[in-house]
């Protein structure tokens, strides 16, 4: 390289599309799990009404926003973080880190220990959000993949593994 | 562990990131310091190893524009013209931070450029006036591509024969990523590793600064395995090029990490006798500073072990817990020094004599001892010159103090 060059920031199109699809799916799955799973319901009960949290990558997403309304109902609020105020932001420091997390090359605790994640908001709801994410991943993913994504695969009842999982998957697909 | 901390100060301005995807942290870290348009400096070795590719990759989706300056020749000292060019580009195009990609030469230019763009070009003439109450420097990230002598991460810079020594000059970030390791000669890598080993061992044994000793313990651990792994090849040659595979790459990144720690130690432990003696080694002697530092270290420890030292921690880090537990506490000091001599002997054997055990091995002439002694005494030392002379005499043929 003999001359001075300026490199304009480029896009990672494939990673952005993959992560957007994954976040859309996980967001709807969190909404579904909050209606089916007792543990997820309890985690959301610890959060105040009208509480919203987001998960995304620095600096411009993609994002997933989850909110709890006045009646305690949990909703997936889409991918636009500007639309509503967000009480808790879980941000991965780069899209590459987010991609590692959502391709299950790194589990959430590993990503956290490698300083890939930062939280803007209160720590207890952030821990609750991570626990919810773990549960939802167990619902959505086959065991051999879920094992890569979470710290320890849980011992659930037969009903939770079969009936509840089926309900979460159906509700995720139809968005109810 | 015998040594009681008395009074100490420890300042490490630099955030160290190490690991496979460490480079991906850089846009976020720079952004958190208010920087959005970094100016990249690199040397020809870095350029030949295509180290800018992973950097550009890491800045994708970051919304930051990188300005990449042409590669500097590693063998030629940086001149004022280059600095002026960099300054012009930096100010004209609105850059707000610096990324130094490479070794000592690039970091020195980055530090001096940082002073010029933050305080004005006249600051290079009046840098001493900027030590207190000066505006902050722009963020400086150092991405090493090979092991250095530790000066990269300390608070000093040498440019055009002038030395700048200001607390703010240390890089804000030292980022060590395996994918950024450039190919270098074994000679340079070994010299860096030995510098780090000597500085860390001396800090562990003689410093009363607990955080510095914690860093030193980490550095010893980082150096020992990779150094012997790199040397444990069938055909040793100073000109062998590393890294050749992923394992070498990992070992080199550990040594680079240790080099970064060496800089933190040099900044915080000012009374490193071995470091000063190694750097004062005359050119007539073929030992590089790192090799000379390790050669004089056993004698330094022998002289100062009776007064102010903690050999336990040194021995523990050199031997590991299992071997350490088998040695009676009364023999820790002697065994630590003997272990250092064994390491020197092993390195001498593995390198087929390229790494000296004594100053005589390093080509030092006994007749030139006085010249060397005078060169050392020109440095700032708060040690009795007679002790320095005793260290030199005993390091010449590796004779232990106990034998007279």
Q: Give pLDDT tens digits for A30-57.
A: 989 998 888 888 888 888 888 899 999 9
Q: Which among A4, A12, A59 has the least Cβ separation from residue B31?
A: A59
pLDDT average, residue stretch B281-287: 64
If one counts every other C-beta atom within 10 angstroms of the C-beta of residue A134, the result is: 19
With tokens 């009681």, the residue in question is B4
- Per the CB < 8 Å rule, is B27 touching A1? no
Given an 8 Å threshold on Cβ–Cβ distance, is B68 in contact with A6? yes
Residue for token pair 């490490």: B12
Instruction: Report whether pLDDT(B287) > 80.
Output: no
Read off the pLDDT of each residue in B236-251 and give the average, rounded to a whole number: 73
pLDDT at A106: 86
Q: Considering only CA atoms, give the Rg of chain A.
A: 17
- Looking at the DSSP bridge assignments, the partners of residue B143 are B101
The pLDDT score that the predictor gives to residue B239 is 63
* Spatial separation of the C-alpha atoms in residues B145 and B154, rounded to whole Å: 17
Q: Residue A51 domain-assigned?
A: yes
pLDDT at res. B403? 66
Contact A58 B66 (CB under 8 A): no
Cβ contact, residue pair A6, B64, below 8 Å: no
Nearest to B375 by CA among B268, B279, B243: B279
- Tell me whether residues B58 and A94 touch, CB distance under 8 A: yes
Residue of A nearest to B41 (CA): A4
**Residue with more model confidence, B292 or B365:** B292
Give the architecture-level CATH label for domain B15-126+135-180. Answer: 3-Layer(aba) Sandwich (3.40)
How confident is the model at residue B379, as a pLDDT? 73
Q: What is the average per-residue pLDDT within B359-382?
A: 77
Choose between B127 and A80: higher pLDDT. A80
Q: Which domain holds residue A138?
A: 13-170
Query: Has residue A4 been placed in a domain?
Result: no
- Give the number of other CB atoms < 10 A from CB of residue A50: 12
- What is the pLDDT, as a whole number, of residue B82? 86
pLDDT of residue A23: 92
Boundaries of CATH 1.20.1090.10 in chain B? 184-403
**Is residue A48 a part of any domain in this protein?**
yes
**Residues in contact with B189: Cβ distance below 8 Å, sequence separation at least 6, in sequence order:** B146, B147, B230, B242, B252, B255
pTM above 0.90, yes or no: no
Number of domains in chain A: 1
Q: How many residues does chain A have?
A: 176
Average model confidence (pLDDT) across chain B: 83
Phi-psi label, residue A130: left if phi above 0, alpha if psi -120 to 50, beta otherwise = alpha
For residues B36 and B30, what is the distance between their CA atoms, to the nearest angstrom? Answer: 7
Answer whether residue A146 is part of any domain. yes
- Predicted local confidence at residue B20, as pLDDT: 80
Do the domain assignments include residue A6? no
Rounded to a whole number of angstroms, the distance from the CA of B246 to the nearest CA of chain A is 19
> What average pLDDT score do residues B106-128 get?
83
- Distance, in Å, from the CA atom of B106 to the CA atom of B123, rounded to the nearest integer, reads 19
* Interface with B, mutate which of A93, A111, A113, A115 (most B CBs under 10 A): A93
- Angle between the N-to-C axes of helices B311-319 and B332-350, in degrees from 0 to 180, rounded to the nearest 10: 40
Query: Which residues on A lie below 8 Å from B38 (Cβ)?
Result: none
Q: Which B residues, 72 through 131, put their C-beta within 8 Å of a C-beta on chain A?
A: 89, 93
- Other Cβ atoms closer than 10 A to A170: 12
Topology of domain B184-403 in CATH is Dehydroquinate synthase-like, alpha domain (1.20.1090)
Q: What is the ipTM of this complex?
A: 0.84
Please tell me the predicted confidence (pLDDT) of residue B234: 57
B153 and B163 Cβ atoms separated by less than 8 Å: no
| CATH code of A75's domain | 3.30.1050
- The mean pLDDT value for B327-349 works out to 88
- The answer to whether residue B233 scores a pLDDT higher than 70 is no
Tell me what pLDDT residue B285 has.
Answer: 64
Chain A partners of B61 at a C-beta cutoff of 8 Å?
A: 9-12, 15-16, 57, 59-60, 94-95
Query: Which residues pair with residue A120 across a beta bridge?
Result: A89
Distance from CA of A150 to the nearest CA of B (A): 20
Chain A residues within 8 A of B58 when measuring between CB atoms: 94, 96
Answer yes or no: do A5 and B61 touch at CB < 8 A.
no
CB contacts, 8 Å: B173 with chain A: none
* A94/B28 Cβ within 8 A: yes
Give the pLDDT score at B249: 83
Asked if the C-beta of B225 comes within 8 angstroms of chain A's C-beta atoms, the answer is no
Collect all residues of chain B within an 8 Å Cβ-Cβ radius of residue A117: none
Question: What integer is the mean pLDDT of B161-178?
Answer: 86
Mean pLDDT for B203-231 is 88
The Cα of B35 is separated from the nearest Cα of chain A by a number of Å equal to: 13
Q: Which residue has the higher pLDDT, B309 or B295?
A: B295
């Amino acid at each position: 390289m003999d001359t001075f060059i300026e490199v304009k920031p480029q896009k990672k199109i494939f990673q952005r599309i993959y992560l957007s699809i994954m976040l859309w799916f996980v967001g709807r799955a969190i909404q579904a799990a909050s209606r089916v799973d007792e543990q997820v319901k309890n985690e959301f009960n610890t959060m105040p009404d009208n509480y919203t949290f987001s998960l995304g990558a620095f600096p411009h997403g993609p994002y997933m926003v989850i909110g709890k309304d006045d009646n305690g109902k949990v909703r997936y609020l889409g991918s636009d973080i500007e639309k509503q105020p967000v009480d808790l932001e879980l941000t991965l420091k780069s899209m590459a880190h987010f991609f590692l997390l959502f391709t299950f090359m790194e589990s959430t605790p590993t990503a956290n220990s490698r300083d890939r994640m930062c939280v803007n908001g209160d720590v207890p709801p952030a821990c609750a959000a991570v626990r919810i994410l773990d549960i939802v991943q167990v619902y959505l993913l086959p065991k051999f993949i879920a094992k890569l994504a979470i710290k320890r695969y849980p011992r659930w009842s037969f009903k939770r593994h079969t009936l509840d999982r089926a309900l979460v998957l159906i509700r995720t697909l139809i968005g109810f | 562990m015998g040594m009681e901390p008395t009074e100490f100060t420890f300042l490490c301005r630099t955030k160290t990131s190490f690991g496979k995807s460490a480079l991906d942290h850089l846009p976020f870290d720079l952004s958190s310091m208010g920087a959005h348009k970094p100016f990249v400096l690199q040397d020809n070795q870095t350029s030949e190893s295509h180290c800018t590719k992973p950097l550009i990759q890491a800045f994708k989706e970051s919304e930051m524009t990188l300005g990449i300056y042409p590669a500097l020749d590693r063998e030629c000292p940086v001149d004022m013209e280059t600095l002026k060019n960099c300054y012009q580009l930096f100010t004209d195009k609105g850059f707000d931070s610096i990324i130094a990609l490479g070794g000592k030469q690039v970091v020195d230019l980055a530090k001096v450029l940082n002073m010029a763009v933050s305080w004005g070009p006249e600051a290079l003439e009046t840098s001493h006036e900027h030590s207190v109450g000066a505006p902050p420097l722009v963020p400086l990230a150092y991405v090493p591509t090979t092991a250095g002598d530790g000066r990269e991460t300390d608070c000093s810079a040498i440019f055009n024969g002038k030395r700048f020594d200001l607390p703010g000059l240390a890089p804000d970030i030292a980022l060590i990523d395996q994918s950024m390791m450039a190919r270098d000669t074994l000679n340079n890598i070994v010299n860096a590793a030995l510098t780090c080993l000597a500085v860390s061992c001396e800090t562990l044994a003689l410093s009363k600064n607990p955080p510095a000793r914690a860093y030193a313990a980490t550095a010893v651990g980082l150096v020992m395995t990779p150094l012997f792994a790199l040397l444990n090849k069938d055909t040793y040659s100073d000109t062998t090029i590393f890294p050749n595979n992923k394992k070498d790459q990992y070992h080199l990144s550990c040594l680079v990490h240790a080099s970064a720690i060496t800089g933190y130690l040099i900044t915080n432990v000012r009374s490193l006798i071995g470091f000063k003696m190694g750097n004062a080694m005359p050119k007539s002697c073929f030992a590089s500073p790192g090799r000379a530092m390790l050669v004089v270290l056993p004698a330094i420890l022998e002289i100062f072990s009776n007064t102010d030292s903690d050999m336990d921690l040194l021995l523990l880090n050199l031997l590991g817990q299992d071997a350490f537990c088998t040695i009676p506490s009364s023999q820790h000091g002697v065994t630590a020094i003997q272990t250092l001599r064994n390491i020197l002997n092993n390195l001498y054997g593995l390198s087929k004599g390229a790494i000296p055990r004594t100053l005589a091995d390093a080509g030092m002439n006994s007749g030139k001892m006085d010249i060397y002694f005078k060169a050392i005494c020109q440095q700032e030392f708060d040690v009795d010159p007679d002790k320095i002379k005793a260290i030199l005499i005993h390091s010449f043929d590796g004779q232990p103090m106990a034998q007279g």
